[in-house]
Amino acid sequence: MFDLDGLLVDSEDAWGRAERAVVEGLGCPWDPAVRTLLLGRGPADAAAVLAEFLDLHDPDEIGRRLLAAAEAEFRRGVPLLPGAGRLVAGLRGRLPLGVATNSLRRLAELAIASVALEGVFDAIVCADDVERPKPAPDLYTTACALLGADPARSVAFEDSPVGMRAARAAGLWVVGCPSFPGQPTDAAHAVIGSLREVDPGELLAAG
């Protein structure tokens, strides 16, 4: 089971540009702290946190602006992260593969299409498919159910603390692959520096 943003695709720059455009469009100065504050959060949560950070009172409007700005950035394309293509290709057709993302489906599908991974995953569960996004376990629980996979025999790859907590709460074995140095990884069972470190053959042998 894979997270998407910051794990398979390098959408952080796209999100950073989108967030900066929204913040400055609201007449506020850009503060790079926004990037880490919003990392891995679901759309409603991100809008609420940003509204509070900017001391503005219309999270719905901020949410709409964030989505529109992100969609424009994602349409320009987002790159695959190192090791992601090789890992997914090595597992495809040999293990059920899922994506559990706090992104909205329209953004997730743009991202997956831009790195030519359409049709690769047996289940893609997005923030709009569940009641509670990460850090709640719902995305992972739903994705495991769709795959017919026992969470206790499933592995999750996550870059964000929020995502690691979600996967852990759903009962998966969690591999943390932080996208920023110094991010907390205490919810992960194992921590790696890059997906390049994962040997698909070893994962298959362990299964």
> So which residues are the catalytic ones?
3, 5
Neighbours of 194 (CB within 10 A): 11
Contact 172, 154 (CB under 8 A): yes
Q: At CA 144, angle to CA 96 and CA 74, rounded to 5?
A: 75
Q: Which member of 1, 2, 5, 120 binds Mg ion (CB under 5 A)?
A: 5
Q: Which member of 100, 127, 159, 176 binds Mg ion (CB under 5 A)?
A: 159
Contact 10, 115 (CB under 8 A): no
Spatial separation of the C-alpha atoms in residues 139 and 36, rounded to whole Å: 21
Which of these ranges, 41-49, 78-86, 139-147, 153-161, lies near Mg ion under the rule CB under 5 A?
A: 153-161
Q: Which member of 107, 160, 165, 172 binds Mg ion (CB under 5 A)?
A: 160
Which one, 40 or 98, has the nearer CB to Mg ion?
40
Q: How far is the CB of 27 from Mg ion (least distance, A)?
A: 29
Which of these ranges, 13-21, 40-48, 71-79, 130-138, lies near Mg ion under the rule CB under 5 A?
A: 40-48
Spatial separation of the C-alpha atoms in residues 1 and 97, rounded to whole Å: 6
Residues 123-142 interacting with Mg ion (rule: CB under 5 A): none
User: φ and ψ at 83, to 5 degrees?
Assistant: 90, -20
Which one, 39 or 62, has the nearer CB to Mg ion?
39
**Where on the chain is the footprint of Mg ion (CB under 5 A)?**
3, 5-6, 40, 159-160
